[in-house]
Amino acid sequence: MIKPTIIVVGNGMVGYKFCEKLVSKSSGFNIIVFGEEPRQAYDRVHLSEYFNGKSADDLSMSTREWYDEQGIMLRLGDPVQEINRTTKTVHSLLGVSIQYDYLVLATGSSAFVPDIPGIEKDGVFVYRTIEDLELIKAYAANAKTGAVMGGGLLGLEAAKALIDLGIEDTHVIEFAPRLMPRQIDSAGSGMLQSKLKELGLNVHLNKSTSYIGGTHKIDALHFNDESLLPVDMLVISAGIRPRDEIAKLAGLQVGTRGGIMVNDKMQTSDESIFAIGECALYEGMIYGLVAPGYEMADIVVSQLTGGSKLFYPYDMSTKLKLIGVDVASFGDAFITEPDCRTIVFEDTHKGIYKRINITIDGQYLLGGILIGDADAYNMLLQTVNNKLVLPPNPEDLILGSRGGAESEGAGIMSLPDDALICSCEAVNKATICSSVTDLGITDINGIKKCTKAGTGCGGCVPLVKDLIAGTMKANGQYIKNVLCEHFEYSRQELYDLVKINNIKNYDLVLDHFGHGDGCEVCKPAVASILSSLWNDVIVKQDTIQDSNDRFLANIQKGGTYSVVPRIPGGEITPDKLIVIGQVAKQYGLYTKITGGQRIDLFGAHLNDLPDIWEQLIEAGFESGHAYGKALRTVKSCVGSTWCRFGLHDSVSFAIEIEDRYKGIRAPHKLKGGVSGCIRECAEAKSKDFGVIATEKGWNLYVCGNGGSKPQHAELFATDIDKETLVKYLDRFLMFYIKTAEPLSRTATWLNKMDGGLAYLKNVVINDSLGICGQLEEEMQALVNTYHCEWKEVIEDPALRKRFTHFVNAPEEKDPSVQFEPMREQVKAKW
């Protein structure tokens, strides 16, 4: 029996997925694939990771051997140039002619290049293929200023690529009045823009390019408003155009704006020819995401193997991390009142914007937008797609559930079995749960291999992990807590392994105990472990991803930095006050006394930071670690020294405690307070540890915090002397450092602890685990190795050299930083 021949034109992600799905369901076809590029299909979704060390082989979706094993003829570098529908024959560039029974067009799209004078100059690139990236990488080696034309998803990815290549002066040019106009609203776009500006990206909106300057190579962009931007290179990412030229030549119906017209079976105007992916036009829509392309591939496979599956308008919800900033939109994100009710949460300090749209009766979620914090995206998307009834307080969806982790887990497990968890691979909840229950798979890598869930864009991975944990819990199984997919250990286990093996850098940790290249979860977590163990200078750890740690200062609005010297207990001499004033005047800094009894100086240029700190350190100041996951302050009242109600000297004790724990790195920031009496002027009960004087000694409170979810500290020990209190604090803090999850405040740590406060007391006070001596020794070792990080930087020329905005002009400051007057001081203009 002669097998029908299927020819696939295009070997991108969707073309490959079609082949993969077809061979998994049937061996009754002769499959031939023509690819234009010289390599087999690769992961275009994660293309920018090519600049982070991933090779073309790492991005490849398969091997040449896979095609051979499946009996698929693969012709690379040989695009089809003509389709003869009468004889059902294709003709390729290299002169090959083959007849088909069915033809699948998966030609994808090309980068849209606007018709601008000068577009052909050297230094102008598109951002589409690995070959494009190789050209960009080679040219960027001699470029100092780069621009990206296009402020959509691909444009911001391209901007990240330029930054990864070391071009710190990177600009994004967008014709529209806001970034990502198809995904987020004006308010969300504004928040995203401010976040990107803080990270050093320059954004230019409402800009139309009139021509590209330069003789043979680009030297500037000239705009219609007669302004110009000097640049060394330009990457065009202004949208895509469906590759439909071969379909047009064959006489197939195409849209007026491009795209091969298809029906719900993915058939073109010729019943034996199908089109899938970004070249296909369904009901006037080109789908530019990988998930609908995979669904189209599945539809065609169904049609060819006797099924009846049809394509329907596809959900375009998406979650991405753009240059380190979470961005997500889901459901009907743009519906407005009075057609719905809208709930908005906006935190300009942290750069977080959340908006949800709910039905007028408050029963159902319609859609929303998340900027800066998209942890809730997967569950919100499921709530929309499965029409789940909202809780009595819908604002909890974006402000945090009042039911805690248990209710969130229950929400995930209460999803219907047919809830689509992985849209890229069309994997539902039942498939994942049955893989855990029936096949015994209990880790994300196993689920990926078994179901392919999480192997596309990766956005569903957190939800898949929650389903694994929820199913195991329902089955009464032990749940192993792992740091991320690159480490099969919890933070606590990894902490112990790093200590036992005396490992002192991230690469060795990954080599010994992990796999892959690491990620944004494990890199800062491991860096925190290394800092907590060895107390080395944080700026020597290249794997730290937080820009605040990188420059030992918090980056603020307008691209400036803050300077926060340590003022233990809030006590400061007149001479030191004068020095702060002199520094602030010399560098034009905005000054403010904080709630933590410190003086913050805002508006410092990156270049000025070492000089500023040199003066402060000479005057006796130290780094305040305001930028780090470390002890910030120990707030105090004036105590018995001045107050007529004070029982003990709270100022001296606060200084003693702050001097003891300063510089010690932890899973999250730490704050303390010491009050001289029960009137509690230092607000000690709202701190990670609080000390309150009593007539018989001191009371110790632990695990409180302020923030978006404030929680009072709980009474831990009563009427104890100073020596005992410090001993308990040593044990408590060291136990927290060793056992807390990454980025967990002490309150969250205690809330999740089996046995709660009673267990913590038993460990720290009663030494139930027999580790208190070890905890005290480890804390003392950290205390003994304290160093002021800024002092080390200003004394080390190599470290000091990092603090420049322009590598080739170290003295030049960021010209985009501007200030405006405010109450006899200045603030950043942004």
Residues annotated within the binding site for [4Fe-4S] cluster are: 637, 643, 677, 681
Which contacts of 753-758 are long-range, i.e. CB under 8 A and separated by 24 or more positions? 757/703, 757/714, 757/716
For tokens 């009371």, name the residue.
699
Q: How far is CA 116 from CA 136, 213, 224, 396, in A?
A: 20, 11, 12, 49
Structure tokens at 173: 């040019």
Nearest to residue 565, comparing CAs of 598, 609, 605?
598
Q: How far is CA 68 from CA 75, 305, 590, 671, 825, in A?
A: 12, 22, 67, 61, 71
Q: List the binding residues for siroheme.
A: 681
The answer to whether residues 261 and 283 touch, using CB atoms and an 8 Å cutoff, is no
3-state SS of 90-113 is EEECCCCEEECCEEEECCCEEECC
> Cα separation of 283 and 289, whole Å?
16
The answer to whether residues 266 and 82 touch, using CB atoms and an 8 Å cutoff, is no
* Helix (H/G/I), strand (E/B), else coil: 819: strand
> Cα separation of 7 and 807, whole Å?
52
Nearest to residue 346, comparing CAs of 398, 381, 297?
398
Work out whether the CA dihedral 765, 766, 768, 774 comes out positive or negative: positive
> Cα separation of 706 and 686, whole Å?
6
For tokens 């704006």, name the residue.
257
> Cα separation of 39 and 128, whole Å?
14
Q: Which amino acid is residue 43, in one-letter code?
A: D
Other CB atoms within 10 Å distance of the CB of residue 153: 19
DSSP string, 681-743: TT-GGGSSEEEEEETTEEEEEES-B-TTS-B--EEEEEEE-HHHHHHHHHHHHHHHHHHSPTT
C-alpha 198: how far from its chain's center? 15
Nearest to residue 53, comparing CAs of 523, 459, 445?
523
* Helix (H/G/I), strand (E/B), else coil: 145: strand
> Residue 98: beta bridge partners?
90
Structure tokens at 59: 């991005």
Planar angle of CA 734, 739, 744, nearest 5 degrees:
100
> Cα separation of 808 and 337, whole Å?
52
Other CB atoms within 10 Å distance of the CB of residue 618: 10
Residues 6+ apart with CB under 8 A from 725: 691, 697, 698, 700, 717
* Helix (H/G/I), strand (E/B), else coil: 128: coil
Q: List the binding residues.
A: 637, 643, 677, 681
> Cα separation of 50 and 136, whole Å?
11
> Cα separation of 670 and 660, whole Å?
13
DSSP string, 201-266: EEEE-S--EEEEE-SSB--EEEETTS-EEE-SEEEE-S-EEE--HHHHHTT--B-TTS-EEE-TT-
